[in-house]
Amino acid sequence: MEKKTAKHLLLLLFFILLWAPIVQDSFHLFKGGGLKGAYTSPSDISFDFKKWFDGSYPEKKTEYLSFNFGFRPDFVRMYNQLKFWLFKSSGNENIVIGKENYLYEQQYISEYFGTNYVGEKEINTKISQLKELQDTLKKRGVFLFTVFAPGKGSFYPEYIPDNAIQPKKRHTNYTSYIAASKKAGINFIDMKAWFLAMKDTSRYRLFPRYGVHWSEYGDFLAFDSLVRYVENETGKDLPDIKLDGIQLAVKPRGRDYDAGDGLNIITENYNDTLAYPFFSVKWKGKDEVSSLTIGDSYYFNMYGHMGAAVFKEVDFWYYFSEFWSINGNTSRREDIKELLCKRNVVCLMYTDATLGGFGSDFLKVAHEQFQVKKGDSIAVKSK
């Protein structure tokens, strides 16, 4: 009797598991959370006989249904949770789980070991273009500089998992860009070296365990340093940033848990005390300076939170692909000449892991629009 009951229960469970996704997909009886991170859901396809007979309908419909069936996000989280618990493995191919659960993106580990090195030729070409543009814009009263931001792989190499450790190459993109920048006379801030120098003495964490970017505390320090650098190099008196206080929290906020969110697991892991600065800005009697930044995601918090507090205008070309503006400005890649000439300060900001794509075609497009030659001022390209 007990065996019969057990069989019936297993059969019932089987049918529940079989039909639950279909019922949920049809009636949405339960509200589940979506998956976090960057992913693209296949679009649905409408039926017609032509698509059926050429094979495109069943192929596209299968792709859509495999990504959009009921309870899919919950099943994905359960699967990822089991991988995390049993094998310390990530269900996200871009996220590497390190020792003591430190999370990395693969590109930061590749940069640390130098396996993504693009070579001296490409780096020297870009630095040469940067120097020429820097000198040309200077004659127009525009200050162009570069920020080399730190990466988590080089900041916490001791937590990289053993199965990801490789022989370290002689050169990395970062070391070559720094050497070439010094030689060429590029205006730059080496925030990677600065952060590493502070690693053992900083009162608060500069990189979070479960985040990819520098912590919000590190972000604040970096922006304050950037503002002081611009003041020293341009002679402008920018608004004063006053640190009013720091709030401590064990639960990470915002980007301090972005890699944790990317795991898409059921449990949340909090181990560390993180610092969250709050500040005020004094504008009275200060110079109004407009800024443009071309760079990666390391600038996003500065753009949205701190940039508008200090600069009159704040524009951001994210990877020179998406244009963002606090002031509602618009721009296109083909109008970069016009935008550059309207800004007082132009910054290129890249973390070490993205230096393989340094400039994101910005330098190339700028040189196509400007007849940039050593010793010349900007000239409009003849048509």
Instruction: Give the domain ranges of the chain.
Output: 97-369
Q: What is the mean pLDDT of the chain?
A: 87
Confidence tier at 380 by pLDDT (50, 70, 90): very low
Q: Taking the CB of residue 60, how many other CB atoms lie within 10 A of it?
A: 16
Handedness of CA 69, 73, 79, 83 (dihedral sign): positive
Q: What is the pLDDT of residues 154-173, one digit of tens each?
A: 999 999 999 999 999 999 99
User: Rounded mean pLDDT of 279-295?
Assistant: 95
Q: Which two tokens stand for residue 279?
A: 């500040």
What pTM does this model have? 0.84
- Report the C-alpha dihedral over residues 288, 290, 295, 298, rounded to 10 degrees: 30
169, 113 contact by CB (below 8 A): yes
| Integer CA distances (angstroms), 51 to 41, 64, 65, 68, in order | 20, 15, 17, 21
Q: What is the pLDDT of residue 71?
A: 64
Q: What is the pLDDT of residues 117-131, one digit of tens each?
A: 999 999 999 999 999
> Is a pLDDT exceeding 60 seen at residue 375?
no
> Is a pLDDT exceeding 90 seen at residue 97?
yes
Q: What is the pLDDT of residues 192-206, one digit of tens each?
A: 999 999 999 999 999
Distance CA 67, CA 75 (A): 11
